[in-house]
Amino acid sequence: MTSPLRPDPLFSRQFSASDAAVRILLAELRGWLTCLGMDEDICGSVEIVMAEALNNIVEHAYSGAGKGLVDVSVTQQTAQLSFTIRDEGQPMPGLRLPDNQLPDANGPLAELPEGGFGWFLIHHLTRQLSYERQGDQNLICFEIATNNASKV
């Protein structure tokens, strides 16, 4: 069989939402990307985005309960990685993605932001970012460009 019939490489995991499980998932995903020959820069962007998206599920969708199922699947396509993340936790407030805004860091020391960076990083490092509530599940999808085919 030649390559046109070969399915896209797939990384797929289901795990119980906790900080420790997120760490393991991120390490496994990075290992998979390294095996595919991805640049370190792209591996870094993937880890940053996935850490933020999954931390958000652990802390907010499942309210830090340390349990609740999360499904992650990643496929490698010609010039991008496509991501799908599902959970069965609380819906996003307002049934929409948080804004793509950096917190204000222009104030005095005591008012420097200690949070609010996560969704900015996700928006900034992905494209085709979408959120949908499907029944009792949250579905987040996005792509990260790899440009392996068209590197300058």
In the complex, least distance from residue 1 CB atom to other proteins, rounded to whole angstroms = 37
Q: Which residue has the tokens 């609740």?
A: 68
Residue 35 or 102 having the CB closest to other proteins = 102
Binding mask 44-63 for other proteins (x = CB under 8 A): xx-xx--xx--x--xx----
- Which structure tokens are listed for 42? 């792209």
In angstroms, the CA 129 to CA 38 distance is: 21
Interface with other proteins, residue 22, by CB under 8 A:
yes
Residue 10 or 27 having the CB closest to other proteins = 27
Interface with other proteins, residue 114, by CB under 8 A:
yes
- Which run of H or of E encompasses 70? strand 69-76
In the complex, least distance from residue 76 CB atom to other proteins, rounded to whole angstroms = 20
> What one-character DSSP code corresponds to residue 59?
I
In angstroms, the CA 37 to CA 5 distance is: 21
* SS3 category, 123: helix
Taking alpha carbons only, the member of 60, 58, 50 closest to residue 19 is 58
The correct pick among 1, 2, 37, 110 for binding other proteins (CB under 8 A) is 110
Expressed in angstroms, the distance from the first to the final Cα of the chain is: 31
Binding mask 69-108 for other proteins (x = CB under 8 A): ---------------------------------x--x---
Question: What is the contact surface with other proteins in residues (CB under 8 A)?
Answer: 19-20, 22-23, 26, 40-41, 44-45, 47-48, 51-52, 55, 58-59, 102, 105, 109-110, 112-118, 120-121, 124-125
